[in-house]
Amino acid sequence: MRTYYKQIIVLFLLGQSFAQKDIYRNVEAIEKEWKGYTSYQKEEALSFCDFLFKQGYYERCLVNAFQALYKFPDDEIVSVLNYYIGRCYEEMMNYKLANIYYQKVINKEPKDSQNYKAAFYRNVYVKLMMDDVDDVLKITDSSKTDPYLLTFRGYSYLKKKNWDEARTSFISAQSNFSHPHYDKLITPLYQTIEEVYTVPKHNRYLIFMMSSLFPGAGQFMLGNKTQGQGILSSVGLMMLISSWTTVQRLVGSSRAVDNISLSVPIYKNYTTNSSSSKKDMIPDKIYTSSSSAKFLIPPMLIGSSIFIASAYKSFNDTKLKNEELLNIYIKKRIEKNSPNRFLDFSEPQLIYKK
């Protein structure tokens, strides 16, 4: 009976094995199916990265992009992934890391490829945002016809306050773009250059004169309230200390802290005679003298030094303050007319629509 059941089980298993259609007959079949599976995995990973980037989930996009790089280290999509890793860091304003990943694409791709050009433009842009204007000028020095590089060059000269060169670069960029859309983008930059002379400035000599008349006045006029308050307080304190040393009455007043009966005057180098001394041998008239110069001079010197030094400092700070006002003006105008408006060149795609 047991043998009968065993035979039934064996026949059932053999029948199931022969009934299967997906039997791997050779290695090629296995490789073919595995490639299809990995290709599906790659498409899913790239599709998810693309979705996360477009939705603004840059941190999650970075995680999935790094996972894709780990899974497909030798795939042709590596440069595109590095490009979008750089884009994520750029959107997160981590320009230093963005520059590193753009540079990886530049080092790997041929110069005439779309990946290279997009990474190169982005690399110059992040250098501009990091205020590496000297590097930007060096990179764009040989460019005479590329409108994007000429635009970045103009922004660099704008940050360096070289108005003539900035205007020339923007004119060249506008000429090479040769399109009304870019004319509209570049026109506000001309206005920025023309209106730079309307930025208010402080008069150095007026600041110095006011600082010489009133302690801390120059710093107050420059908007440095904390420094102005410090100068005024210091000079005022020194004047107050010097006033304490003034002696109003020397004769006929008691200047002893303890009871007057405990004070014993000491006299030196005086001559005793019968007409000016009594039985206790103390003269009838006592002449006292006091000098407060040693207490008056130090606070006066300190206060005067602070006063004069603050006036001189305010005179020198005026130039720095005027430069600061100009930098604020340039920064605000660049933020209003940002160079990212020109980043409309073609970029590599994570997903290509068929």
What pLDDT does 126 receive?
96
pLDDT digits (tens, 9 = 90+) for 214-269: 777 667 666 767 776 777 677 677 777 766 655 544 444 445 444 444 445 554 44
Threshold 0.85, pTM exceeds: no
Segment 334-339 shows an average pLDDT of 90
Q: In this predicted structure, what is the pLDDT of residue 313?
A: 74
* pLDDT for 274: 52
Average pLDDT, the chain: 76
Residue spans per domain, the chain: 30-130, 131-198, 202-246+292-345
Fold of domain 30-130: 1.25.40
Which of the four pLDDT bands, split at 50, 70 and 90, describes residue 204?
A: confident
Mean predicted confidence (pLDDT) in 322-333: 85
d(Cα 64, Cα 60) in Å, to the nearest integer?
6
Q: What is the pLDDT of residue 122?
A: 95
pLDDT of residue 292: 60
Inform me whether the pLDDT recorded for 353 exceeds 60: no
| Most confidently modeled range among 71-85, 115-129, 313-327 | 115-129
Q: Higher model confidence: residue 327 or residue 243? A: 327
Query: For the segment 132-161, what is each residue's pLDDT rounded down to a tens digit?
Result: 999 999 999 988 889 999 999 999 999 998
Which pLDDT tens digit goes with each residue over 169-185? 999 999 999 899 999 99
**Which tens digits make up the pLDDT trace of 274-311?**
555 455 555 555 555 555 666 667 777 776 777 677 77
The pLDDT tens digits for 103-112 are: 999 999 999 9
